[in-house]
Amino acid sequence: MSLEGHVRNTTAGVVVDVQGPAVTLDEFTARMLSEHPPLAVIEGVEIELLEPAAAGGFWIVASTGTGTGARVPPDAATCPACLAEMRNPASRRAGHAFISCTDCGPRFTIALGLPFDRGNTTMAPFGMCAACRSEYEDPADRRFHSQTIACPGCGPALWLKQPDGESVTGDRAALDRAQAALAQGAIVAVKGIGGWHLACDAANENAVAQLRRRKGRGEKPFAVMCPDVHAARRLGEISESAARLLQSSVAPITLVPARHGARTASALAPGSPLAGLLLAYTPVHHLLFSGAPFGALVMTSGNRSDEPIATSDPDARSSLAGIADMWLGHDREIAAPCDDSVVRVHGDRTLAVRRARGLTPVPLTLRGPSRAPAVLAVGGDVKCAPALAHRGHVIVGQHIGDLDGPGGLQALERAAARLQRVTSVTARTLACDPHPGYRGSVWARRVATGAGMPAPLAVQHHHAHIAAVMAEHGLDGGEPVLGIAFDGTGYGVPDGTIWGGEMLLVDYRGFRRVGHLRAVPLPGGDAAVRNPARVALAHLHVAGVRWDPRLPCVAACTGEERMVLARMLESGAGCTTATSAGRLFDAVASLAGVRHTSTYEGQAAVELEAAGARAGAVEGYPVGLTAGSPLVLDTAPLMREAARDVLRGAASAHISARFHAGLATASALAALRLAQQAGTDTVALGGGVFANMLLLDGITLQLQAAGMRVLTAERFPANDGGLALGQAAVASACASEP
């Protein structure tokens, strides 16, 4: 456009100093907003008029470190242009395992700080060769100022190591050895951009079973990587929206209905109706599939179950010893662990299950008060993902996982420090869950004391779930909404009991409990999570249903076990009272004979949903709505009628469908009544149970038919992975100046 001036990166954002005729400058501004690079995200534009000065061309000038507000972009899957170049034998980057450009490649996982310049990344040790330098400095080249630019002559290199210490160097030789080992049934640790993975042939029964046993995975499904969407269609029912997600720059693990008869190992996802599929998203992945005899690879996090993903080479060699048969790595360091993101596609809905690679650190604008000091929210102890809020924006960091495993707290500490480092923002206050035993909350209190900060703001668990949905949908919190928060367990405030089936009147500054599921004693407390059969017996006891040995949940417990449970339930000794929706799903799953013990969180509910999806339209089980404040959804009638169906010989699919329909109808009726009493037309659904599509659709459709506005978690997880977003929104509102 024949304009003059310069542009530079700063820690506050991009600064463009441009001069020319006024009409041309207006056109420049409009084109900048519409023609920016694919990975660029423009959050806002501030324009200041200056006096013209001598410029003599247009230049990129040295970055500066003043101010705050800039963001490190998320990692992006290899773009089509780079793939074509990598596959072109005539290209100097043919077969290059680290090919990238300004439109793709690692970003967040290699950044050491801001501005995002090569010197502030783990690419700094790799000096550009003359050819790469020429491309880097050429405005017409697609690698113009690409900080990850490299080639086989000057970039990172692959290596392969075996347990006996033998090493293979050279990209092609290392890839060939790894590919041959995978074809023969080996388990190979593969270094990605945000951590190590464990890979094996997804069709090899022995390899998948061995990986499950060595990793201590139980029955939790594995994710499967395919070379392209055509291969993915052979394993799952891929809708057009799912195909777009799989092929996007995010390239998440996408949960879709598994294709019947797919050629995969039986141990891949036992009992699950869903396939977790992702496409190759790095050059290394694409090269592993090139000419391979296998069509799909298990690609699961490089860790033992319940431990953080391995990122450093020494950690991977030690922590994955005994699991991996060999290690395919490279000499570029990983600055931040970042697991694969997970989303579920269901009809027109796309719901985030785990927010990590490709989705973080994308910010969200908070519409409520924004004059609060910077807030660090630590989330929960399960599916932990911290968040940082500052000046009306919040960034939810990458998924860390559960904090009760080895290294969990250290991973949280590193992630929290990194969020502040890459945003140049220092937290002035903390927010956490009020549960006195949560490791993250204990850590937050210790950090606040050591730094001389005020005590962390304790945000009630279900308040945070609903606040997260409000924040995602841009509500300013000026008017309260009716929240339905259904999950497994959360610390109740102020009574200290276990909540999990809550109806709350919510704004950012507070909440009022206006309804809940009927409380049921859980024998053994937290141990009940792993024992749906015991939970079922507790629900039957409260409902006054005799423990008939013909009921599957009764038969699943030994006579001695039933005697102990009966004494516990009669006396209350060793029982924790809970209103948990998650445990209600467990109880019905066991009563229907679907699942009596769980090897991973939510397993019984997932399999119960799958059973219900096979049935047609049915009449829902009755649920009582007990008048009073708070309103109580009495599930005893539901359990009594379900037990009668079981004794009549009804199929598990029929029982599941009636359960989902009954709970959805009762929840919608209760929410409608409470919302009308409160004078609101908005209902927000939050909590991990709303990963269940039968319940989510059932409640949503009935409320919408009654004229209500229904908000659901979509871009951020409904489960505890979204807690920190809600905590940050609440803390920002409570700490804001009037």
Q: Which residues contact 674 (CB under 8 A, 6 or more apart)?
A: 482, 503, 505, 514, 515, 631
Strand partners, 499: 490
Report whether 376 contacts 427 (CB < 8 A): yes
Would you state the structure tokens that stand for residue 261, as one six-digit string? 């008869």
| Segments of the chain scoring below 50 in pLDDT | 738
List where CATH 3.30.420.360 sits in the chain: 352-473+721-735
Closest C-alpha among 667, 670, 707 to residue 690: 667
For residues 263 and 643, what is the distance between their CA atoms, to the nearest angstrom? 38
CATH number at 352-473+721-735: 3.30.420.360
For residues 39 and 102, what is the distance between their CA atoms, to the nearest angstrom? 8
Closest C-alpha among 213, 191, 189, 196 to residue 325: 189
List where CATH 3.90.870.40 sits in the chain: 158-343
Q: What beta strand segments (E) does 493-609 contain?
A: 498-507, 510-517, 520-523, 575-578
Dump pLDDT digits (tens) for 47-94: 999 988 877 888 888 887 766 666 788 999 999 999 999 999 999 999
The type of residue at 72 is V
Q: How many CB atoms lie within 10 A of CB 391?
A: 13
Report whether 279 contacts 189 (CB < 8 A): no
**Residue position matching structure tokens 């929104």:** 729
For residues 589 and 591, what is the distance between their CA atoms, to the nearest angstrom? 6
Report whether 166 contacts 176 (CB < 8 A): no
What is the model's pLDDT at position 369?
A: 62
Strand partners, 430: 376
Report whether 277 contacts 231 (CB < 8 A): no
DSSP 8-state assignment for residue 460:
-
**Which H or E run includes 490?**
strand 481-491
Its pTM stands at 0.94
Closest C-alpha among 448, 387, 381 to residue 419: 387
Report whether 521 contacts 570 (CB < 8 A): no
What is the model's pLDDT at position 554?
A: 98
**Residue position matching structure tokens 């100093």:** 17
Dump pLDDT digits (tens) for 446-469: 999 999 999 999 999 999 999 999
Which CATH number applies to 158-343: 3.30.110.30, 3.90.870.40, 3.40.640.10, 3.40.109.10?
3.90.870.40
**Using CA atoms in the order 637, 643, 645, 651, what is the torsion angle rounded to 10 degrees?**
130
Report whether 100 contacts 332 (CB < 8 A): no
For residues 532 and 604, what is the distance between their CA atoms, to the nearest angstrom? 7
For residues 463 and 491, what is the distance between their CA atoms, to the nearest angstrom? 11
In 3-state terms, the chain is what percent helix, strand and coil (to 5)?
A: 35, 20, 45
